């Protein structure tokens, strides 16, 4: 029996991947199909700012707060501004994206939006139950909600790290920022460490920027440590004492090669972080999510079904990503040495293509030879290979 609470698609979680899915579905679904988006939040706040590199300008041109064509990488023996063409690097504020999606969907009668907490999804029947006692039935459910704090990952076989960052959105009295160039990785540091830790600057104007301290860590660190580093960086590196902190961001992205239990064939399909869309070795996921969601919707509309290859990255890329996470995340090869060496030897265009999993086998081998401590990377790859298709 079809009731008003029956939908063709239910998006359980309406953050980045849920909303990207809604925008893609809007392009292909029929006039009588119905889509329900359920999120525990109204998405009325700027809960994050996404930055990404891409060659796809579809969202960038509509939503980016700023776009850059150059990045700067600084560390021992290297301090270069590099052009990233044909890529661009852009920043989109969460709230701008959420408002854009709402504007696109508000007059489309096929879409409904409910603010509620999903309690349970019954996979066989496709019933989604929310904590306010309501039930909705979906022919296909895209599940993207998850709680990072409650991630339980068996650490024996997998690397689990945190990309933890503290960012200050600042306004300085005098122009100090180079508006054309993103400081992608500045390995200047207050203390010696093998971990991958760096400063990152998104300059919005000469006097406005997001300045962030990022660390790949096995255990999350006290917020004060990040503040100490940021204070040091402003004083010793930027030589700025007169500035106002407009907003702060302190959060983390889990970085893991754990293969999240993927659901593809039944009524529930996982997308977003919970489907492994966050690249383990970098923590980036905006462009990957955009690409994977487009692939899923295309598969649905052309083949009428989703296959594993539409969601899951090829094995050799997962394997390499996992080995890179092991050596850089755990400081087996010091983060600064690893990344500086890569940027010294490879053009960013090539590195981005490699990280986007578009490099050919020849290019992958070239990258393996360019990294310092390649023996350690090879050992990590073999170790990961031994746990085989669990990755
Ligand atoms: C502060 C921060 C900054 C980041 N910056 C970048 C960046 O610069 N570049 C990049 O590529 N990636 C970045 N990331 C990674 C980030 O995880 C992804 O960009 C992206 O938001 C993940 O999309 P998602 O759909 O998986 O999760 P989310 O966007 O988090 O969406 C999940 C949604 O589920 C909802 N939800 C949770 N539980 C329930 C429930 N029980 N019922 C209903 N709804 C629920 C939440 O409200 C949320 O809207 C950042 C992450 C954080 C936390």
Looking up tokens 């701008």, which residue turns up? 96
Q: Which residue's alpha carbon is at the smallest distance from atom 39 of ligand 1? A: 145
Tell me: do 134 and 183 sit in the same domain: no
Tell me: do 279 and 343 sit in the same domain: no
Ligand 1 mean position, distance from CA 323 (Å): 25
CB 171 within 8 Å of CB 246: yes
- Of 256, 279, 301, which one is at a domain's C-terminal end? 256
Instruction: Return the minimum-mean-pLDDT range out of 69-73, 81-85, 156-160.
Output: 156-160
Ligand 1 mean position, distance from CA 362 (Å): 34
Higher confidence at residue 275 or residue 9?
9
Residue 244 lies in a domain: yes
Quick check: helix, strand or coil at residue 53? strand
Residue 118 lies in a domain: yes
Ligand 1 mean position, distance from CA 275 (Å): 12
Q: Alpha-carbon distance 178 to 153, whole Å?
A: 41
CB atoms within 10 A of CB 369: 9
Which atom of ligand 1 approaches the CA of 18 most closely?
Answer: 25
Ligand 1 mean position, distance from CA 119 (Å): 18
Q: Which long-range CB contacts under 8 A does 260-268 form with residues at least 24 apart?
A: 262/308, 262/311, 262/312, 263/123, 263/143, 264/306, 264/307, 264/308, 264/311, 266/123, 266/124, 267/123, 267/124, 267/125, 267/126, 267/138, 267/139, 267/140, 267/141, 268/121, 268/123, 268/126, 268/141, 268/143
The mean pLDDT of 210-230, rounded to a whole number, is 93
Tell me: do 99 and 172 sit in the same domain: no
pLDDT at 70 (0 to 100): 97
Tell me: do 178 and 116 sit in the same domain: no
The gap from C-alpha 360 to its chain's centroid, in whole angstroms, comes to: 23
pLDDT at 153 (0 to 100): 67
Q: Is the pLDDT of residue 99 over 60?
A: yes
Quick check: helix, strand or coil at residue 370? helix
Which atom of ligand 1 approaches the CA of 20 most closely?
Answer: 25
Tell me: do 103 and 243 sit in the same domain: no
Which atom of ligand 1 approaches the CA of 252 most closely?
Answer: 53
Cα separation values, 251 from 13, 30, 165, Å: 19, 40, 6
The mean pLDDT of 187-191, rounded to a whole number, is 83
Q: Alpha-carbon distance 90 to 57, whole Å?
A: 10
Q: What is the CATH number of the domain that holds 277?
A: 3.50.50.60
Residue 75 lies in a domain: no
Ligand 1 mean position, distance from CA 81 (Å): 31
Phi and psi at residue 98, to the nearest 5°:
-60, -40
pLDDT at 148 (0 to 100): 63
- Of 240, 256, 272, which one is at a domain's C-terminal end? 256
Q: Which residue's alpha carbon is at the smallest distance from atom 3 of ligand 1? A: 48
Cα separation values, 134 from 117, 118, 127, 129, 147, Å: 10, 10, 10, 6, 21
The residues, any chain, with a CB within 8 Å of residue 244's CB and separated by 6 or more, are 170, 171
Q: Alpha-carbon distance 38 to 143, whole Å?
A: 10
- Its domain, for residue 29, covers 6-46+93-151+259-311
CB 329 within 8 Å of CB 281: yes
Q: Is the pLDDT of residue 115 over 70?
A: yes
The percent of residues in the chain predicted with pLDDT above 90, rounded, is 61
The mean pLDDT of 293-321, rounded to a whole number, is 88
The residues, any chain, with a CB within 8 Å of residue 292's CB and separated by 6 or more, are 271, 275, 277, 310, 311
Q: Alpha-carbon distance 162 to 261, whole Å?
A: 20
Residue 80 lies in a domain: no
Quick check: helix, strand or coil at residue 308? helix
Mean pLDDT score of the chain: 90
pLDDT tens by residue, 119-167: 999 999 999 999 999 999 999 999 999 766 666 666 667 778 889 999 9
Q: Is the pLDDT of residue 214 over 70?
A: yes
The mean pLDDT of 18-44, rounded to a whole number, is 97
Tell me: do 185 and 304 sit in the same domain: no
Total structural domains within the chain: 3
Phi and psi at residue 286, to the nearest 5°:
-60, -55
Q: Is the pLDDT of residue 265 over 80?
A: no
Q: List ligand 1's pocket residues with C-beta within 6 A.
A: 13-18, 38-41, 48, 50-52, 117-118, 144-145, 249, 251, 253, 272-273, 278, 284-286
The most distant pair of C-alpha atoms in the chain lies apart, rounded to whole Å, by 69
Per the confidence metrics, is the pTM higher than 0.75? yes
Quick check: helix, strand or coil at residue 242? coil
pLDDT at 1 (0 to 100): 47
């Amino acid at each position: 029996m079809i009731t008003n609470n029956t939908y063709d698609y239910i998006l359980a979680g309406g953050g980045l991947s849920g909303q990207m899915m809604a925008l893609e579905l809007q392009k292909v679904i029929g006039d009588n199909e119905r889509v329900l988006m359920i999120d525990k939040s109204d998405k009325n706040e700027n809960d994050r700012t996404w930055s990404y590199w891409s060659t796809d300008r579809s969202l960038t041109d509509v939503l980016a707060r700023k776009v850059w064509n150059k990045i700067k990488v600084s560390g021992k023996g290297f301090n270069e501004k590099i052009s990233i063409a044909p890529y661009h690097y852009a920043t989109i504020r969460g709230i701008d994206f959420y408002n854009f999606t709402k504007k696109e969907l508000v007059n489309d009668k096929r879409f409904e939006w409910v603010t509620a907490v999903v309690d349970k999804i019954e996979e066989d029947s496709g019933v989604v139950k929310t904590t306010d006692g309501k039930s909705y039935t979906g022919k296909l459910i895209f599940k993207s909600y998850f709680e990072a704090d409650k991630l339980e990952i068996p650490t024996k076989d997998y690397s689990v790290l945190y990309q933890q960052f503290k960012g200050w959105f600042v306004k300085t009295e005098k122009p100090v920022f180079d508006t054309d160039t993103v400081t992608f990785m500045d390995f200047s540091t207050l203390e010696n460490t093998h971990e991958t830790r760096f400063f990152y600057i998104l300059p919005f104007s000469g006097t406005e920027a997001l300045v962030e301290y990022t660390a790949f860590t096995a255990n999350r660190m006290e917020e004060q440590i990040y503040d100490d580093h940021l204070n040091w960086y402003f004083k010793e590196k930027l030589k700025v004492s007169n500035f106002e902190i407009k907003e702060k961001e302190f959060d983390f992205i889990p970085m893991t090669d754990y293969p999240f239990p993927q659901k593809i064939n039944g009524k529930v399909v996982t997308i977003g972080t919970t489907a492994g869309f966050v690249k383990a070795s970098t923590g980036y996921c905006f462009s990957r999510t955009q690409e994977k969601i487009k692939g899923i919707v295309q598969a649905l509309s052309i083949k009428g079904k989703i296959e594993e290859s539409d969601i899951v990255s090829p094995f050799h890329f997962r394997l390499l990503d996992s080995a890179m996470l092991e050596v850089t995340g755990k400081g087996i090869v010091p983060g600064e040495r690893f990344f500086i060496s890569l940027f010294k030897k490879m053009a960013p265009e090539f590195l981005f293509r490699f990280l986007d999993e578009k490099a050919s086998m020849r290019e992958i081998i070239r990258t393996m030879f360019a990294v310092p401590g390649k023996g350690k990377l090879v050992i990590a790859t073999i170790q990961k290979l031994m746990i085989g298709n669990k990755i």
